Chain A
């Protein structure tokens, strides 16, 4: 079977669901090999089918360009004709540079990949959702290897636990050539599901008027991630990481509940491929109602507590 190299720009404790989806996708195309700059990834990668894992001699993290050297070396070692990574900025940066070195075709933000790696990179079909969800496209690389980044929540993760794989260190170490990290601040980790990976997203906009409390209660009740419009993140009511839309994250959850968000085109770009959309807005002409499967014209500070009451009533 042909090797499919999966790149993880970071591995913390256990794999995120997006990373598990990537491994699942890789295994459907060929034999999953993993390369990462993370130190000691073995435990996190203890899944059936993951037998080959490469790291550097030391930990290498973005934006260190040594990640590209590591990737290039791992492609040579594995003979992989397909390289997959998540569609995050750090991963895209490294894979885009790798594609230049390999003179390979690069396709970003895929929502699916079909085919068999042993028939060659150019035989794979890559599916995308483009123009803010307005079109679906299929694409192929015309020159291998195929370097592909994949959007989270696109593939159903199906992995079974296995033995911790052996890790081989390649002769590549961290460098600081040209880019020096002066400081790092961890972003606050939330107890809630990751926004891009969540099954349910509840999102608030300018209508929250500085108070995300009711939405947080609703998120707790639904096991949801919290999203926001740029108006809400710009106002500083919630972290920028929660921004959904053109310049925030793109989500495709089963349910997107939008509260106090008008539904500007930049916001819609990030959420209109959700399976079901519910909107609460006090303006009956708000554009969000054009794409909502169920809409409520009303004050969110009244409607959300009604929802909470009904959800809790059903639980008892």
Chain B
């Protein structure tokens, strides 16, 4: 490892989203926006957080792990959970102008918050910067925010990491592309999205939950990260939303030696053979 890399601190920002619980019934409200009256830390964001904590534990240099969430006031719960799991500090960007933000608006706002959060680092030593995200949000599921954020920040992008490690001032990432498994190296700063194949996220233990009480969460409005409501205008709009009629349970039989035959008969009747 290069000497400079060993000495320079690393600042990792993990994006964590507060989303409606995937296990419960989720709703799009009358205004065609997600019902965000309740929520949890997106489970898919536990994987990048775990990756950041593992990098911190393995590194021979100071590593600071910050969690950053964008969302309504309730979203501070996801920042708190990230602190309990092991992040050092947290940031929460919240503003009425962000309600219903699409990918473009979200990535503009995140860019402002990421730059602001990186700027809160130690003034004497310019830390090396890494942004980790989940592979998708559990609600919008576009998987496009990491790419738009990287483009806006003007940094390298690596998506769908199934493994990530730090090498000097670069990350080495295993990722799955359409028809191949790739190993790539990206010089920092970079944005890397991490999949659920990458690790087994830890649970917060009692000690960590107590320790989290002493950690800080900084809340910002848009103006505090240098943005106006106009900057975060969406470039798409949802014009209609309707619940899909739930699937009805069909006939269920118990195998008495002929169930396989009866499946085939059913398929023939439904004309799917």
Q: Which residues of B contact A187 (CB under 8 A)?
A: 176, 179-181
Looking at the complex, which one of B32, B136, B249 makes contact with A292 (CB distance below 8 Å)? Answer: B249
Q: Tell me the residues in window 73-102 of chain A with beta carbons closer than 8 Å to chain B beta carbons.
A: 88-90, 92-97, 99-101
**In the complex, are the beta carbons of A240 and B244 less than 8 A apart?**
no
With the chains together, A311 CA to B252 CA distance in Å? 21
User: Smallest distance from the beta carbon of B176 to chain A beta carbons, Å?
Assistant: 7
- Which segment of B2-10, B114-122, B151-159 sits at the interface? B151-159
Question: B235: CB under 8 A from chain A?
Answer: yes
Q: Which residues of A contact B25 (CB under 8 A)?
A: 134
- Which segment of B51-59, B72-80, B142-150, B220-228 sits at the interface? B142-150
**In the complex, are the beta carbons of A294 and B251 less than 8 A apart?**
yes
**In the complex, are the beta carbons of B184 and A179 less than 8 A apart?**
yes
Number of residue pairs A-B, CB distance < 8 angstroms: 268
Looking at the complex, which one of A65, A134, A289, A304 makes contact with B243 (CB distance below 8 Å)? Answer: A134
With the chains together, A205 CA to B254 CA distance in Å? 20
User: Smallest distance from the beta carbon of B261 to chain A beta carbons, Å?
Assistant: 4
What is the interface of chain B mostly: helix, strand, loop, or mixed?
mixed
**In the complex, are the beta carbons of B249 and A289 less than 8 A apart?**
yes
- Which segment of A28-36, A45-53, A125-133, A156-164 sits at the interface? A125-133
**In the complex, are the beta carbons of B250 and A293 less than 8 A apart?**
yes
Question: B203: CB under 8 A from chain A?
Answer: no
User: Smallest distance from the beta carbon of B17 to chain A beta carbons, Å?
Assistant: 15
Q: Tell me the residues in window 223-271 of chain B with beta carbons closer than 8 Å to chain A beta carbons.
A: 234-244, 247, 249-255, 257-268, 270
**In the complex, are the beta carbons of B261 and A133 less than 8 A apart?**
no
> A139's closest neighbor in chain B, by CB?
B238
In the complex with contacts A105-B104, A133-B244, A240-B197, A298-B235 CB distance below 8 A: no
Q: Which residues of A contact B263 (CB under 8 A)?
A: 257, 278, 280, 294, 296, 303, 307
Q: Which residues of B contact A307 (CB under 8 A)?
A: 260-261, 263-264
- Which segment of B87-95, B185-193, B207-215 sits at the interface? B185-193
Question: A181: CB under 8 A from chain B?
Answer: yes
Q: Which residues of A contact B148 (CB under 8 A)?
A: 96-97, 99-100, 106
**In the complex, are the beta carbons of B260 and A309 less than 8 A apart?**
yes
With the chains together, A135 CA to B148 CA distance in Å? 25
> A269's closest neighbor in chain B, by CB?
B22
**In the complex, are the beta carbons of B244 and A179 less than 8 A apart?**
no
In the complex with contacts A107-B236, A186-B180, A255-B272, A246-B22 CB distance below 8 A: yes
With the chains together, A62 CA to B26 CA distance in Å? 35
With the chains together, A240 CA to B197 CA distance in Å? 9
With the chains together, A273 CA to B196 CA distance in Å? 23
Question: B183: CB under 8 A from chain A?
Answer: yes
User: Smallest distance from the beta carbon of A258 to chain B beta carbons, Å?
Assistant: 12
In the complex with contacts A105-B235, A297-B252, A272-B104 CB distance below 8 A: no
Question: A119: CB under 8 A from chain B?
Answer: no
**In the complex, are the beta carbons of A298 and B254 less than 8 A apart?**
yes
With the chains together, A90 CA to B159 CA distance in Å? 8
Q: Which residues of A contact B244 (CB under 8 A)?
A: 129, 133-136, 273
> B255's closest neighbor in chain A, by CB?
A298
In the complex with contacts A129-B244, A137-B238, A303-B263, A292-B250 CB distance below 8 A: yes
Identify 14 residue pairs between A and B in the complex whose beta-carbon atoms are under 8 Å apart, listed by A's number.
A12-B179, A63-B177, A90-B177, A93-B157, A93-B159, A99-B103, A106-B235, A109-B142, A125-B239, A136-B242, A222-B273, A292-B249, A303-B260, A310-B265
Beyond A10-B179, A241-B176, 16 additional contacts (C-beta under 8 Å) are: A65-B156, A97-B150, A105-B235, A109-B142, A130-B241, A135-B243, A137-B242, A178-B155, A179-B156, A180-B186, A187-B181, A246-B138, A276-B270, A294-B252, A306-B257, A306-B261
- Give chain B's interface residues, CB within 8 Å of chain A: 22-23, 25-26, 28, 32, 44, 102-104, 107, 135-136, 138-139, 141-148, 150-152, 155-160, 172, 175-187, 190, 195-197, 234-244, 247, 249-255, 257-268, 270, 272-273
